[in-house]
Structure formats: C-alpha cells, structure tokens
Amino acid sequence: MKVDGKHFRSIWRERDGWSVGAIDQRRLPHEFVIARLTSCEDAAVAIRDMLVRGAPLIGATAAYGMALAMREDSSDAGLKRAYDALVVARPTAINLKWALHEMRTALAPIDPVERAEAAYARADEIVEQDVEINRGIAGNGLELIEAIAAKKPGEVVNVLTHCNAGWLATVDWGTATAPIYLAHERGIKVHVWVDETRPRNQGASLTAWELGHHGVPHTVIPDNTGGHLMQHGMVDLAIVGTDRVAANGDVCNKIGTYLKALAAHDNGVPFYVALPSPTIDFAVHDGIRDIPIEQRSGVEVTDMTGRTADGRLETVRIVPEGSPVANYAFDVTPARLVTGLITERGVLKPDRAALAAAFPERIATA
C-alpha cells in the first residue's frame, strides 16, 4: 500500500537478493524506519521484539528467517536449529508454525546444497500467496459492506476494528482492512472506528497511520468506547483480524476483541473476523481451552511512549510504582459471537463443518 505516494509492502527481499527489508513497526507512527534482517537470529528477534507483528507477517518473516538460516548452514542440523529457534519466537499466531512447516516440508527432502535457493523461492511464494489471499478477502468482505451501503444510500458505512489487521500486519492489503480499502477505492463512503488497542496501541499507532496514508476516513477511540457507539447505532459492522481460529470456529485475537464481540452481540451489530486460511488450526478443537495466550512484559502496561511537542520521543510511567500488572496479549471470542469468517474462499459460518468444507487440505496438515 502507499506511504507518501510510494508503494510499500511490510517485508521484502532487498536488492542484494538475500537480505530482507522490513518496516520497523515499533517506531511508527513517529518514524518510518526500515530494518535489514541478515540472519535467522535477526528474524527471530524481529518477531519476538515486535519489530514485525501481525499473524501473517510473523509467518512471512519466519519463512525468510529459514532462508537466511540456510545461507549460514543448510545441513539437516541447521534446518532443525532454524526451525526450533523461530517457532518459539511468539506463541499465539499459528501462521508462524504454518510457515515453518511449509518451509521444512519443502527443504527437508532436497540436497543441502540446493536448500538456500529453494528456501528463498518458497519464502517468496508464501509472501505472494499472502497478497493473493488478502485480495480474495477484500472481494468477499466488500460484498458485506456493499450490502450495508445499499440499505442506507448516500450515508456512511461505519466499521469498527480492533488492533491492527491491516497491511502492516500482513504482506500487503491486510485482512480486516482489505475489504475497507477496496470499498474506499470503489467509492463507497466508509468510516472506521479504530480502537486504540492498549497496551501497545496497534490501533492508534498503526491502523490509524495506515488508513491516514490511504485517505480512509477514521476516528481513533479509547478501547472502552465501542459498546457506547454500538448502543447508539453508530457502528454498522465490526471487522477484526485473528491470530488463530480453532476448528470449532473460536477466534483468538488481540486482547479486548472478546469484549467487542459481546457488545456487538448485545446490540445486534454484525461481528466479522477476516482471516487467511493459514490462520486456521484444525489441531485445536476448543479455542478457549487450548490456544496458548501470550503474556508479555508488564512494562508495556506501566509505560507509554509518545512524541513531545518539541519532537522528542519520551517514555513515561502511568502506573504507581509497586502496583502489580498483568499483560495478556490475546483473548478468545467464542464462535457463537461471530457472525461470519471472511476468508479467501468466501464468508463462512464459524463452525467445523464450514471450515472443513472450505479448506479440506488444511485438515491433512494439522
């Protein structure tokens, strides 16, 4: 998507053909900084420290991490070491495991001398596939927005989203934002309520930044505002992303998603989840019980960083010294609160039968 008129993806192969460029998302919206990843270790740290984040981008970064590892050591032991180092970088987004599984399946059977080239080729495919999938999500989600627009001619369609499931969280287009970008391009009047998404503020820092650069009307709201807006008819639909969808349709996403789904249910607001098929985990049958929820450092809760009026970045503490904090990064929304799953193969009911019918090939690899 565009940044100051120039097309960017969130991750790419650099001109040298082997190192990997990525936007350092920790610095947005204050600074646009490009990082260069030159080793498997760089890729693992980028995922762990959230220089890159968002489930599909975590997967894409891991794929390139494997390719970088194969330059260093393409032996069987090197392959295993790279897999083991990357797979633990973050626990919740299943795209990480999916991408590493894809890479290992492609590389294990071939001669180690051919592995580095094959690894880059497979990683490139994973990256291109992500863009294609998101185009599919865009088209399928657009139909939902068009249906609402048709019911209120000339009026704005208000979409609420949580966290950042935009192009920064994928390779391009985003998942939750893909239908929004397409609707905007097609001339449909859309406006997005952007949850700030404490504690890391991916909504305020990243989604607002993206939408602003693309000219999509939006308003950043404190996380607790959605229920009020829904009660007053100010939200037509919610679209969020996800880090893992269980076989039963339960949806794991950024902490606070569940509360939005409850509010949407109580107010009859359609609540959609946009996802690429690599986010489905057929090995997990009960999302609430079995999806591992990442707990991150308490510093993310106690401290906030922002830009001062004179342009300096400053971090301040907002919690009293000594008060314990908890930082659960994700929660699980039960399938019964989800209106539909927007996938590249259509809008599905959030249940096992619908997911299995649409993506039978994913069951075999679970």
Which residues contact ligand MRU (rule: CB under 6 A)? 53-56, 93, 163, 165, 169-170, 175, 202, 241-243, 253-254, 329
Least distance CB 248 / ligand MRU (angstroms)? 19
172 is catalytic: no
Compute CA distances 295 → 22, 90, 164, 243, whole Å. 25, 10, 18, 14
List the 237-240 sheet strands across, edge first.
218-221, 190-195, 157-161, 237-240, 271-274, 340-343, 346-348
Q: Measure the CA–CA gap between 156 and 188, rounded to whole angstroms.
A: 8
Least distance CB 69 / ligand MRU (angstroms)? 22
Nearer to ligand MRU (CB atom), residue 98 or residue 120: 98
Catalytic-role residue among 195, 243, 281, 331: 243
Least distance CB 168 / ligand MRU (angstroms)? 9
Least distance CB 241 / ligand MRU (angstroms)? 3
Which residue number has the CB closest to ligand MRU?
Answer: 241
Nearer to ligand MRU (CB atom), residue 54 or residue 340: 54
Burial of residue 323 (CB within 10 Å: 0-12, 13-18, 19+) is: exposed
User: Maximum distance among all alpha carbons in the chain?
Assistant: 63
Nearer to ligand MRU (CB atom), residue 253 or residue 277: 253
Least distance CB 365 / ligand MRU (angstroms)? 20
**Helix 112-151 × helix 55-72 angle, to 10°:** 170
Question: Is 299 within 8 Å of 319 (Cβ atoms)?
Answer: no
So which residues are the catalytic ones?
243
